[in-house]
Structure 1
Amino acid sequence: METLSAKNESNFLSVTPSPPKKRKKGFWQILVQQKYLYLMSLPFVIWCFVFNYLPIWGWTMAFQNYKPSRSFGEQEWVGFKQFIDLFQDERFYLVLRNTLAMSLMGLVFGFVVPIFFAVFLNELKGTIFKRTVQTVSYLPHFVSWVVVGGIITKMLSVDGGIVNELLLTIGVINEPIQFMAQGKWFWGIVTGADIWKETGWNAIIYLAAITGIDKELYEAARVDGAGRLRQIWNITLPGIRTTISVLLIMSIGHLIGIGFEKQFQLQNSLVLDYSEVLDLYALNYGIKISRFSYGTAISMFTSVVSVILLLTANGIMKKTTKESIM
């Protein structure tokens, strides 16, 4: 009987049809099913194409002797002449030095300080005090560089500037220092102003990442006798490592394209050799004197180098930390 029942069971299993394999849905089927999601994203796709990809057509001016009065077909094509002139200009290398110096200082201090600030806020116990500090810290982000430039200039002024007054009061100096008239101070002033303005805002994303860390890890660490510093080193920082890696890669990608707003607002004729960056160089030696092709070549150089830096940083991070944005 046992043999017969086992035989019947095996026959039943042998004739039982296998479940049909699920067919993968095609793109058009997914498009129809999720048509509302695609429609919601369509305005952003159009905006991204119009403002980020369509302007690349203007790069053709870098290979022309562009004249606004001529149509595209009437422009004179000059090949790489604009780039040759760019790399033969001694001013370009001075501007490149300023750009890299301020970028590296901003990358080191402007990237590290928000991380420490976010960790500091996370360790505060008083909810009201914590929220007050966080709110006050990110408010300068919404102040324009025009206002910030005026505040920094007034603070560092030799005529009633709070910095000079404080240094004179505590006896560090005997006479006011002309901070805004000395090129050796300019890079530090720009970096300090940028840190003051953006630290609170940049710390928000780290605070969001910290809130995603499992609280049980901290409880287990406290049970094992770990202090606050050990918890920060072994739980908090590793918990936000992915966020730090992604933002570091993106920061390196913008290493050479730092804009010009803060330099433009804080510069003066006495510190031009230290304040001029690539974007200001393109404005002053390109657009202002109607050398549109030359200005386009500068901007194209900046964009290409930024892409190379981004890909290089992403590749290095992917090999060393297994973190990547691509």
Structure 2
Amino acid sequence: MVAAPPVAVPAASTRERPSDRGWRGARHSWRQHWELYLLMLVPLAWFAIFKYVPMSNAIIAFKDYYLLEGVWGSPWVGLKHFQAFIDNPVALTLVKNTFLLSAYVLLAGFPIPIILALALNEVRQGLFRKSVQMVTYAPYFISTVVVISMTILVLSPQLGFVSDALGVIGVPMPDLLGRAEYFRHIYVWSEVWQTAGYSAVIYLAALAGIDPGLYEAARVDGASRLQKIWHVDIPSLMPTAVIILILGVGNVMAIGFEKAFLLQNPLNLGTSEIIATYVYKVGLLSSNFSMATAVGLFNSVINLVLLLMVNAVARRVTGSGLW
């Protein structure tokens, strides 16, 4: 019996290194999909120019910024502006108003899209389902300025629709827009009305990806519709819901400026003055750019800490997280 010739083993120096395979794979991917990479250049350039490059200017939070001397020529003052903000009597009120408003938005706005998605998923009549989706989804595309204008017109004590309806039954219309205790409710529920339909689309997509075999097994086991929702739909939504909850908590101190500023008036400043509106007034109206940057940076650090904490808790409890 003739023995097989020995197989030559390449020397270590001639073997392909992992880095070579990586670069070769990258070049091959570029040749195959160069059109897609070119399309990515525009959004990447946008993020680099308008998101990452401006981060370097956050250094003015540690300087007394003078326009003529520029960012790098202004004198260094360390934590002076952070200390000034902490010592400011309004600092605690700003943090409290921002946190309470954001927490209210999160608590009200997180479960409602899930409930809406679960309800729409159970609708079997196609026309009715599409009509509800369109009605709930459309407000997302309405400008915030238009939404606030509609809110003011509806809740106006003299000309509003609510005032006219209450007048029919002889009930006086309270000044909802001018009383500080109503500001958070108006802000939050107008936000929920505007965004619930759009947020529900994400959960509907997650529900569409559920294995039909799970529904068949539940049907064979005699599960009712509510049992199917509880034991099949909700567990399947949990990974998506956890990610959205983490992102929401990470932005809990980054409540939007535009709506709060448009709903703000001298009568409701006790609850409507938040960090975003304070930064606008201090930075742009008072031209104190260093203080405004310090306050914004302080706010961003709080968001980062909350994001890290909630992600760690979510990974420990549910096994899902951003990383």
Counterparts of 1:102 and 1:85, CA distance in 2: 24
Relative distance call for 1:68 and 1:305 in structure 2 (3 A) is: same
**1:302 maps to amino acid:** N
What is aligned with 1:257? 254
Relative distance call for 1:32 and 1:72 in structure 2 (3 A) is: same
What is aligned with 1:69? 68
Q: Does 1:316 pair with 2:306?
A: no
Q: Does 1:190 pair with 2:187?
A: yes
> Is the partner of 1:34 in helix, strand or coil?
helix
Aligned-pair CA distance for 1:18: 11
What does residue range 90-169 of structure 1 map to in structure 2 within 5 Å? 90-169=89-168
Counterparts of 2:37 and 2:259, CA distance in 1: 39
- Of 216, 219, 237, 2:216 maps to 219
Q: Deviations over 1:123-176 (max 9, x none)?
A: 1111111011101111111111111111111111222422234345567xx321
Relative distance call for 1:205 and 1:19 in structure 2 (3 A) is: farther
Counterparts of 2:153 and 2:8, CA distance in 1: 81
Counterparts of 1:167 and 1:227, CA distance in 2: 43
Counterparts of 2:224 and 2:9, CA distance in 1: 56
- Over the matched positions of the two proteins, sequence identity in percent amounts to 35
What does residue range 200-211 of structure 1 map to in structure 2 within 5 Å? 200-211=197-208
Counterparts of 1:167 and 1:222, CA distance in 2: 49
Relative distance call for 1:230 and 1:73 in structure 2 (3 A) is: closer
Aligned-pair CA distance for 1:22: 8.9
Relative distance call for 1:22 and 1:83 in structure 2 (3 A) is: same
> Is the partner of 2:110 in helix, strand or coil?
helix
Counterparts of 1:295 and 1:26, CA distance in 2: 49
Instruction: Assess if the C-alpha contact under 8 Å between 1:31 and 1:38 holds in 2.
Output: no
Counterparts of 1:303 and 1:110, CA distance in 2: 22
**2:263 maps to amino acid:** L
TM-score by length of 1: 0.90
**2:314 maps to amino acid:** M
**2:58 maps to amino acid:** W
- Of 231, 234, 252, 1:234 maps to 231
Counterparts of 1:303 and 1:123, CA distance in 2: 40
**2:256 maps to amino acid:** G
What is aligned with 1:287? 284
Q: What is the count of residue pairs matched by the alignment?
A: 314
Counterparts of 1:127 and 1:244, CA distance in 2: 26
Instruction: Assess if the C-alpha contact under 8 Å between 2:166 and 2:172 holds in 1.
Output: no
Counterparts of 1:18 and 1:118, CA distance in 2: 62
Q: Deviations over 1:189-237 (max 9, x none)?
A: 1001000111111111111111001122112212211111111110011
> Is the partner of 1:270 in helix, strand or coil?
coil
What is aligned with 1:29? 24
Counterparts of 2:202 and 2:169, CA distance in 1: 38
Counterparts of 1:315 and 1:228, CA distance in 2: 34
- Of 268, 274, 278, 1:277 maps to 274
Q: Does 1:47 pair with 2:46?
A: yes
**2:209 maps to amino acid:** G
**1:232 maps to amino acid:** I
Q: Name which one, 1 or 2, has greater alpha-carbon Rg.
A: 1
Aligned-pair CA distance for 1:93: 1.4
Q: Does 1:177 pair with 2:174?
A: yes
Relative distance call for 1:325 and 1:16 in structure 2 (3 A) is: farther
- Of 190, 196, 213, 1:199 maps to 196
Counterparts of 1:16 and 1:163, CA distance in 2: 92
Q: Where does the alignment leave 5 or more consecutive residues of structure 1 unmatched? A: 1-7
Relative distance call for 1:217 and 1:16 in structure 2 (3 A) is: farther
Counterparts of 1:254 and 1:84, CA distance in 2: 24
TM-score by length of 2: 0.90
Q: Deviations over 1:59-107 (max 9, x none)?
A: 1110111011213443121111000001011112111111111100100
Q: Where does the alignment leave 5 or more consecutive residues of structure 2 unmatched? A: none
